[in-house]
Amino acid sequence: MTDLTILGIPGSLRAKAYSRGLLLAAQELAPPGSRVEIADIRGFPVYNQDEENSAPEPVRRLREQVRRADAVLFSINEHNYGLSAAEKNVIDWVSRPYAESPWNGKPAGILSASVGMIGGARAQYELRQTMVFLNLFPINRPEVIVPFAADKFGPDGRLRDEATRGFIAKHLAELVRYTRVLTRPP
């Protein structure tokens, strides 16, 4: 079967962020016939609509990666009950100019982790609201919401919790299935 590319979008610039650790696990757990690439979101300036038609190189590169990917996998951290500034900035930059948004019609998965007991659920809800406007098609289940993340990652930033790895594997399997259904020729 043809390789399916899933582009992972981290929710933080931090090297050992939980969102990055979730994506590293996703790379290891990708179902046969699929692979997960992790986007580099460093170097993005704060979004400025005056510059959207002459976006900096990191933005242009990510827009093209999103365009080429079969699906996207958002891995988010929750900051102050919502998306991190880094994640929202990436979403806004890539979405513009609006008529050329590579998010349009793209299948999507969502992973979240937080040090608290809600595990990033509020940030997932905020992202889902944004996905409506962007016309992204998120899978609904199985959800991957990782509470008390500090207990589930090693000092190297890698996910070590086997139950969470199992949820990620199931999430990826559903994302691959969903992507194949949405992109199946008529």
Domain count, the chain: 1
Asked if the bond preceding 97 is cis, omega within 30° of 0, the reply is yes
Q: Would you state the structure tokens that stand for residue 172, as one six-digit string?
A: 């990826």
User: What residue type is assigned to position 27 of the chain?
Assistant: Q
pLDDT digits (tens, 9 = 90+) for 109-148: 999 999 989 889 999 999 999 999 999 999 999 999 999 9
Sign of the Cα pseudo-torsion (121, 96, 39, 88, in order): negative
More confident residue, 69 or 49: 69
Digit-coded pLDDT (tens) for 140-175: 999 999 999 999 999 999 999 999 999 999 999 999
Question: Could you list the residue range(s) of the whole structural domain that residue 37 is in?
Answer: 4-183
Confidence category of residue 15, pLDDT binned at 50, 70, 90:
confident
- Of 111, 183, 185, the closest CA to residue 153 belongs to 111
Tell the burial category of 5 from Cβ atoms under 10 Å away from its Cβ (0-12, 13-18, 19+): middle
Angle, CA 7 vertex, CA 2 and CA 30 arms, to 5°: 60
pLDDT digits (tens, 9 = 90+) for 71-122: 999 999 888 888 999 999 999 999 998 889 999 999 999 999 999 898 899 9
pTM of the model: 0.95
What is the band of 43 on the pLDDT scale with cuts at 50, 70, 90?
A: confident
Q: Distance between CA atoms of 4 and 23, rounded to whole angstroms?
A: 16
| Bridge partner list, 144 | 111
Query: Residue 39's domain is classified under what CATH number?
Result: 3.40.50.360
